[in-house]
Amino acid sequence: MTAAIRIADLHKSFQGVEVLKGVDLEVGQGEIFALLGSNGAGKTTTIKICATLLKPDSGQVRVCGHDPLRQADAVRAAISLTGQFAAVDELLTGRENLVLIARLRGLDDPAGLAARLLARFGLTEAADRRAATYSGGMTRRLDIAMGLIGDPDVVFLDEPTTGLDPEARLEVWSTVRELAEAGTTVLLTTQYLDEAEQLADRIAILHQGKIIATGTMPELKRLFPPARVEYVEKEPSLEDIFLAITSGPSAKGRDPLASPTTPQPAPSPASPIKEARR
Ligand SMILES: Nc1ncnc2c1ncn2[C@@H]1O[C@H](COP(=O)(O)OP(=O)(O)OP(=O)(O)O)[C@@H](O)[C@H]1O
Ligand SMILES: [Mg+2]
269: pLDDT strictly greater than 50: no
Nearest CA, atom 30, ligand 1: 40
Is the confidence at residue 227, as pLDDT, over 90? no
Q: Which amino acid residue places its CA nearest to atom 3 of ligand 1?
A: 14
Q: Is 262 a residue whose pLDDT tops 80?
A: no
pLDDT of 167 reads 80
Q: What is the mean pLDDT of residues 53-62?
A: 97
Residue 180: CB within 6 Å of ligand 1?
no
Q: What is the rounded average pLDDT for all residues in the chain?
A: 86
Note whether 58 and 11 are within 8 A (CB). yes
pLDDT band of 27, cuts 50, 70, 90: very high
Greater confidence, 52 or 273? 52
Ligand 1 atom nearest to CA at 191: 25
Q: Output the pLDDT for position 64.
A: 96
Supply the residue whose CA is at minimum distance from atom 7 of ligand 1.
14
Give the ligand 1 atom nearest the CA of 45: 18
Please count the other Cβ atoms lying within 10 Å of the Cβ belonging to residue 72: 14
Work out which ligand 1 atom sits closest to the CA atom of 47: 18
- Note the pLDDT of residue 1: 66
Specify the higher pLDDT residue, 172 or 184.
184
**Least-confidence region, from 21-25, 29-33, 162-166:** 162-166
Nearest listed ligand to the Cα of residue 206: 1
Atom of ligand 1 nearest to the CA of 41: 21
Has residue 251 got a pLDDT over 70?
no
Indicate whether residue 209 lines ligand 1 (CB < 6 A): no
Burial profile 2-36: b = 16 or more Cβ within 10 angstroms, e = fewer: ebbbbbeebebeeeeeebbeebebbbeebbbbbbb
Q: Whose CA is nearest to atom 16 of ligand 1?
A: 42
- The whole-number average pLDDT for the span 242-261 is 57
pLDDT band at 275; cut points 50, 70, 90 = very low
- The predicted pLDDT at position 31 comes to 96
Residue-level pLDDT at 249: 56
Q: Work out the pLDDT band at 276, boundaries 50, 70, 90.
A: very low
pLDDT of residue 264: 45
Ligand 1 pocket member 262 (CB < 6 A):
no
Per-residue pLDDT averaged across 138-156, rounded?
90
Q: How far apart are CA 130 and CA 128, in angstroms?
A: 7
CA 238 to chain centre: 23
The structure's pTM equals 0.81
> What's the confidence (pLDDT) of residue 261?
43
* pLDDT for residue 112 is more than 50: yes
pLDDT at 34 over 50: yes
Does the beta carbon of 12 lie inside 6 Å of ligand 1?
no
Q: Could you give phi then psi for residue 272, rounded to 5 degrees?
A: -55, 140
What share of the chain in percent tops pLDDT 70? 87
Q: Using CA positions, which residue lies closest to atom 29 of ligand 1?
A: 40
In single-letter form, the type of residue at position 150 comes to G
* Residue 52 CA, ligand 1 centroid: distance in Å: 16
C-beta 19 within 6 A of ligand 1: yes
- Which of the two residues, 164 and 100, has the higher pLDDT score? 100
Q: Is 42 in the pocket of ligand 1 (CB under 6 A)?
A: yes
What is the pLDDT, as a whole number, of residue 260?
A: 42
Q: Would you say the C-alpha torsion 155, 159, 163, 168 has a positive or negative sign?
A: positive
Q: Give 257's pLDDT tier (boundaries 50, 70, 90).
A: very low
Q: What is the per-residue pLDDT for 253? A: 46
Any idea which ligand is nearest the CA of 45?
1
